[in-house]
C-alpha cells in the first residue's frame, strides 16, 4: 500500500524535475541577438581616470540628451582631438 504511494510520489517528483530542467534548458537556449557596442568589432572598451565631479556633471548633462551616451561623447571628443592634431 505504501509502496505504491511512494512510487507515485517519486514519479511525480521526477516528472516535476524533468519539467523544470526543460524550462531551464529552454531559457538557456534562447539567444539574444548580439547588439550594441560591446559586441561590435569596430569598438574597443577602454578605461580612463577622470575626476568624480567632472563625471557627475557630464552625466547630468547627458541625461538631457537621450540620444547620446558617455561613449558617444568620448568618441566625439577624441575624434575632434585627432582631427586637430592632424591639421596642426
Q: In a structure prediction context, what are the per-residue pLDDT tens digits for the chain, which is 88 residues long?
A: 677 776 777 777 777 778 777 777 777 666 667 778 888 899 999 999 999 999 999 999 999 998 999 999 999 999 999 999 987 6
**Which residue carries 585627432 as its cell?**
82
Residues 17, 55, single domain; the answer is: no
Residues 12, 45, single domain; the answer is: no
Q: Is residue 36 part of a domain?
A: no
Q: Is residue 59 part of a domain?
A: yes
Q: Which domain holds residue 46?
A: 41-88
Q: Is residue 71 part of a domain?
A: yes
Gyration radius from the chain CA atoms:
27
Residues 86, 46, single domain; the answer is: yes
How many domains, in total, are found in the chain?
Answer: 2
Residues in the chain: 88
Residues 54, 88, single domain; the answer is: yes
Residues 27, 45, single domain; the answer is: no
pTM of the model: 0.56
Residues 25, 46, single domain; the answer is: no
Q: Is residue 83 part of a domain?
A: yes
∠ Cα 36 40 42 (to 5°)? 130
Amino acid at each position: 500500500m505504501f509502496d505504491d504511494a511512494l512510487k507515485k510520489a517519486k514519479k511525480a517528483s521526477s516528472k516535476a524535475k524533468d519539467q523544470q530542467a526543460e524550462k531551464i534548458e529552454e531559457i538557456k537556449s534562447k539567444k539574444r541577438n548580439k547588439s550594441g557596442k560591446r559586441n561590435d568589432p569596430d569598438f574597443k572598451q577602454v578605461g580612463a581616470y577622470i575626476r568624480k565631479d567632472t563625471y557627475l556633471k557630464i552625466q547630468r548633462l547627458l541625461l538631457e540628451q537621450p540620444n547620446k551616451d558617455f561613449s558617444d561623447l568620448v568618441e566625439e571628443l577624441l575624434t575632434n582631438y585627432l582631427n586637430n592634431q592632424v591639421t596642426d
